[in-house]
């Protein structure tokens, strides 16, 4: 008598990984043609290759990516339009714990240095989930592993006053970048950043998570600094991005400005494409002024 072995249902971890990779495809972080490897995602998310392999298979079954013999998985044309319905495994996720830690830190509820034991006593989460969350936070530049044991939060802007000073400095820095005599546009980079923003606006039902949103914003502002052709403007912008990671990741959960931010960025990109640098500088000033935090809150750009 022949028997048919029923395939095992995807595990919560496999579903969570598939959803996270799928969201990167949706928001353009992984564009059409991007090569997806088990090693890269395993390293980024702090997991073995086995659940990543299963997650990629789930996305291939959905038609978001395709497998090419002797080459691996690649994002396909139209993959960003495929739904992720059913990928959410339910229960506490890395995103949930990530949000709790970030918000508590920005509210001064967590010290500069903390151990995993202290975090486990504070948050009702399995050690495996905590480890994956800390790995993600480290990959996004929010924390760093201490020598010996424990973790340290990286420096941030810290106070509303410091955030306001940062935005005023960025108005001088970024608006001036457009007027540099060494200004030169990289059309390939410009199109990639433009397309990534447009995909976010085109898929409001799948908004980027906090890390993805910050990465998209940081990439845009660093792009402008890079086009200036001035190494010191670029270095200053990269430093600002590093300092505002924690503060604006927390702001993502307080005041979500995904649509407004992306729309304003695209207006600036349109001015760049038209080679109207004075208009681009004026639009950048308006954008940063809108986003400048009030003493009681901060908004992400």
- Answer yes or no: do 164 and 287 share one domain: yes
* 31 in Cβ contact with 195 (< 8 Å): yes
CA dihedral 15, 21, 23, 24 (to 10 degrees): 170
- Answer yes or no: do 187 and 286 share one domain: yes
* 213 in Cβ contact with 162 (< 8 Å): no
- Answer yes or no: do 23 and 43 share one domain: yes
Q: Which of 80, 102, 132 is the last residue of a domain?
A: 80
Neighbouring residues of 219: CB distance < 8 A, sequence distance ≥ 6: 193, 196
- Answer yes or no: do 205 and 281 share one domain: yes
Alpha helices in 3-107 (DSSP H): 12-26, 38-45, 49-62, 94-106
- Answer yes or no: do 177 and 235 share one domain: yes
At 300 the pLDDT is 45
State the CATH number of the domain containing residue 231. 1.20.120.530
At 210 the pLDDT is 74
At 4 the pLDDT is 44
Q: Please tell me the distance from the alpha carbon of residue 27 to that of residue 202, in angstroms, as a whole number.
A: 9
Q: Which of 138, 153, 168 is the last residue of a domain?
A: 153
Domain carrying residue 212: 160-291
Q: Quick check: is 5 in a domain?
A: no
- Answer yes or no: do 164 and 262 share one domain: yes
At 252 the pLDDT is 67
- Answer yes or no: do 168 and 139 share one domain: no
Q: Quick check: is 296 in a domain?
A: no
Q: Please tell me the distance from the alpha carbon of residue 128 to that of residue 119, in angstroms, as a whole number.
A: 12
Neighbouring residues of 110: CB distance < 8 A, sequence distance ≥ 6: 101, 104, 153
Q: Please tell me the distance from the alpha carbon of residue 93 to that of residue 130, in angstroms, as a whole number.
A: 10
> Which residue in 115, 118, 136, 125 sits closest to 47, CA to CA?
136
* 216 in Cβ contact with 208 (< 8 Å): yes
Tens of pLDDT, residue by residue over 37-60, are 998 888 777 778 888 999 999 999
- Answer yes or no: do 167 and 147 share one domain: no
At 171 the pLDDT is 95
- Answer yes or no: do 147 and 166 share one domain: no
- Answer yes or no: do 222 and 262 share one domain: yes
**Please, what is the Cα angle at 87 between 85 and 89, to 5 degrees?**
130
pLDDT digit of tens for each residue in the chain (301 aa)? 444 444 567 777 788 788 888 888 887 888 899 999 998 888 777 778 888 999 999 999 889 999 988 889 999 998 888 877 766 555 567 778 888 888 888 777 888 899 998 998 888 777 878 888 888 888 777 889 988 789 998 877 667 777 888 889 999 999 999 999 999 999 999 999 999 999 889 887 777 777 788 888 889 999 999 999 999 999 999 888 877 777 777 776 666 678 889 999 999 999 999 999 999 999 999 999 988 876 554 444 5
Q: Quick check: is 134 in a domain?
A: yes
* 98 in Cβ contact with 246 (< 8 Å): no
User: Which pair of tokens denotes residue 45?
Assistant: 């998310």
Q: Please tell me the distance from the alpha carbon of residue 196 to that of residue 133, in angstroms, as a whole number.
A: 25
Domain count, the chain: 3
Q: 0.85 cut: is pTM over it?
A: no
The CB-based long-range contact list for 286-292 (8 Å cut-off, 24+ gap) reads 287/261, 288/167, 288/170, 288/171, 288/174, 288/175, 289/167, 289/171, 290/260, 290/264, 291/167, 291/257, 291/261, 292/163, 292/164, 292/167, 292/168
Q: Quick check: is 129 in a domain?
A: yes
State the CATH number of the domain containing residue 72. 1.10.10.10
Angle between helices 49-62 and 12-26 (to 10 degrees): 60
**Please, what is the Cα angle at 235 between 258 and 177, to 5 degrees?**
70
Tens of pLDDT, residue by residue over 126-184, are 787 888 888 888 877 788 998 878 999 887 766 777 788 888 999 999 999 999 999 99
């Amino acid at each position: 008598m022949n028997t048919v072995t029923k395939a095992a249902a995807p595990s919560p971890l496999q579903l969570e990984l598939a959803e996270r990779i799928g969201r990167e495809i949706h928001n353009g972080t992984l564009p059409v043609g991007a090569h997806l490897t088990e090693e890269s995602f395993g390293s980024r998310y702090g997991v073995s290759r086995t659940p990543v392999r299963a997650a990629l298979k789930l996305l291939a079954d959905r038609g978001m990516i395709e497998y090419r013999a002797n080459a691996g998985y690649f994002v396909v044309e139209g993959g960003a339009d495929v739904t992720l319905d059913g990928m959410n495994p339910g229960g506490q996720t890395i995103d949930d714990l990530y949000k709790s830690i970030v918000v508590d830190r920005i509210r001064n509820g967590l010290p500069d240095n903390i151990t995993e034991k202290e975090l486990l006593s504070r948050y009702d989460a399995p050690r495996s989930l905590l480890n994956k969350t800390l790995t993600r936070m480290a990959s996004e530049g929010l924390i760093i592993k201490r020598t010996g044991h424990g973790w340290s939060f990286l420096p941030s802007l810290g106070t509303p006053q410091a955030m306001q000073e940062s935005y005023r400095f960025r108005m001088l820095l970024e608006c001036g970048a457009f007027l540099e005599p060494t200004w030169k546009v990289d059309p390939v980079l410009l199109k990639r950043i433009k397309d990534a923003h447009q995909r976010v606006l085109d898929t409001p039902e799948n908004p980027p998570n906090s890390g993805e949103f910050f990465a998209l914003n940081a990439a845009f502002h660093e792009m402008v600094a890079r086009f200036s052709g001035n190494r010191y403007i670029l270095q200053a912008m990269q430093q600002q991005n590093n300092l505002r990671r924690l503060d604006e990741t927390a702001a993502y959960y307080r005041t979500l400005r995904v649509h407004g931010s992306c729309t304003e960025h695209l207006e600036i990109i349109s001015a760049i494409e038209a080679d109207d640098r004075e208009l681009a500088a004026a639009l950048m000033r308006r954008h940063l002024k809108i986003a400048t935090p009030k003493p009681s809150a901060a908004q992400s750009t």
